[in-house]
Structure 1
């Protein structure tokens, strides 16, 4: 017989002789036994344990068993009442409360040696009634039985923990119909709950013809909608409803990036800030950002009136280009004074000496949605040129690129709403005459955004960058970059001049005797002489040459010379006729304007004059000048001036020959041609203007 089977304690049930007894007390070597209908029995422990008929039928568990975890989640007043009742119940069972000090003697009316269980229950009921907390005797007995079965948890009001259907007693057919109606309502415009109720009535009539399906009352139907998870935002925001419907049904997966640039995400969104366009018209811009998953760094972010494929392609170049320190920026945000491993990076590339504290990210994989900007050949070609793997997100699955989605939302709350001219995230959040408060131009707003990224975002602790060994410690993007740089052995390689040109879009063209023609513009240079009339040898282009061009500066194009693998820069022949560089948008708009005048085959000179007129009217401060331009013309002019507010930053290649401008007279009014330095980070970062 085991030790447990010979252990006697208060509350144990034993067999002694032919009778079953309850052990009501133990005093040294004396055991007190009780059984209903018989007088109490006092036996010496030695005689009891050596008797052949002695058996321990059950051993009472310890009174103080830890309650289940749900007990701690109950309201404070519920737990306090259960513990207070436990004090009284244990006094009924053991003679003294569970929380009484060791050695406490039982009160006479609760002594287990001189009173029965019922007598103690009656005494306790009278005591509680006198103390102002009356409990009927029968209720007290049920509590005692529950305590013996479940300990303190048995004293909790079961109505608080009762399991019941979240949908109540609603008819299953009605519930199924509501789910069908809510599914159909996902893509519909938001309406009232009454509209949904009428739709459920029609659905029931169609699904169960001839059956009598009773609809719940209007208040009950509304409560049913509140309880159903599918009904979230059923009458609220249609956009939120559609977003929730696109969430994956299974658990969210995650891809862990262990080095900077291993996994990046790109996306565009309208920025809720009103700006002053070049002609004084108030407008909005789109924000396109590339975010590094491993460090949560905003590798690059640009603002445009409308985002185009070339903007996304050139965004890669900005991510791989150091952010220069600008006039007015404090020295504290220089890379040399930041958490970034400046000395290590400087040893790799001395051009980082005057850079700001924004890390250089070389993307390896980019996740993007199915927007036309990112699925374009221009963007894909740029990724292939840089050896970047592209990973389209699943259709209608915004969670595939949730990090960049959340980052763009953070830019809206942490940056945009603090800028003068903030419009709010929706019409209902918009202030009175918010557009009239617009104060910044596109160039100024871009400069503010660049400074905010360097000073705030890159040095702000991020919840997604917690130290794995100390989860309470959050890292900043710059600190995470420094940590991963040392662990992963990552070496940033800033973009070279040739790589930059490769990112530009290209068109196949023949090199004629007069040069290269693109959209009625003729480009030429002496270095093209050996190539005139020659085939490129590229079968995919039909023997034509791949001519790279900058859509925001039509003053020059680039052709690779197959003989020495160098780039030839060919300048536009009409460069002397324009006061400044302008973009492809302005050229195409001017062509349409000239065509509308009835000229079927406009000459290059005619289109150039139309462009000049467009830009002059856009810059006119008078109301008449603004009225003379169409809405489309104003946007084109604003975009053109924004993208050309600084000189074109194309990094240089070794020149094959000088530009074909030497033959022009010195007296000609020629637009300034800015020489291309070996590396100018300031111009690199502003390449989108």
Structure 2
């Protein structure tokens, strides 16, 4: 179900690559440039970003890196199969990196898993360890599981045979089914409640049963599975305990004092430090702010000396992030490659939908593409999802979705929103849901026009039109969505405040002004007047 090899996990000296129409050899690797051979000329130094972005960039030989595994497909597996796959993952990670995923910080690898040993030696050691613990496996089995994990993540370790059998209630535990049936029967004669109450009541019933206390309600194995595949260590912090991630809080504070306070419309750390009439200042959109922040990070932050970046050999000198990164690249001997576009699509939220004659429907929006033609009204083959298709979408941009080709190699097919041309700027789910609530019986086109009007009114300002005053939620929604795209196009299409608001006439009556009384701190508030 996975895509084809797209790019390597890292580049090292001696690898053969294709770049700029030639097959070259990597001669040297540093943080700022990769030196490659050039036919009949002197070696050529190329910035890593330019090398990876080249259309003809390709690596010959050596293991490649697969796109992220489809973590959303993990929920289609039976709990026993998934538990077995996670068990294998812990052992495979110890073979690959010397430590299991739950190892405490500072833990040293066991001698038999030292990274100085060959991968074959570590696989033999793991086979011996598992066999001694009662799990009879061979070194070849460990190697096979390791290769499956490198190409497919946790999903590659799962026994897919069990997933082909579709039980009556899918992959839900029998105890959960029994508890939910009891919750439904209790609600027959009670007042009408929604599904959230039934899920809560099901959980309470499971807690009261001794034999079902260890049973958990179905949940989604996506963020953590992706982090393990990308070799990212997750260290959760307690809620309301910012001191546990002091380095993050310190960085946010530094960004605030070194960058944010220089912006027009800076609001201060809290309301006590907030200025007056900030809304009258020229304000940046979110996309413009992101561009400014990116430039500041490259020019200032990455070249700013940090007290926490020091070298034991030179304790009296602090280094910049760029200097420390360059030193680490020189020490490890390779340059890591960034995620591909397919990897980012893989990390987006997933839903399951049917591919109909008209396309795909998500929240009263229709998406379609010529690529979907061979799959219309077709079963995806994923039995645990009743033949539906895996769809990934961006909550902050409803203009397009990505559909996984379950009949191919798992590649993505992009489908655009049917009414994309009706709205001048991109927007997210929040704006769509807000407009849809105001039009419960509205068509897809009417909701799209309502969103477009909402964004246009937000940009035009409170005095530009004679339409009803915006509510607090209107302001909150538009503030978070109008900057999803360039607002300059909308600005050119809207009249200025001076053009749209007529000047007051002499006969125009003014509203009655009712003065407020003076506040008396010594007055009895309970005394009748």
TM-score for both structures, normalised by structure 2? 0.48
TM-score for both structures, normalised by structure 1? 0.38
Larger Cα-atom Rg: 1
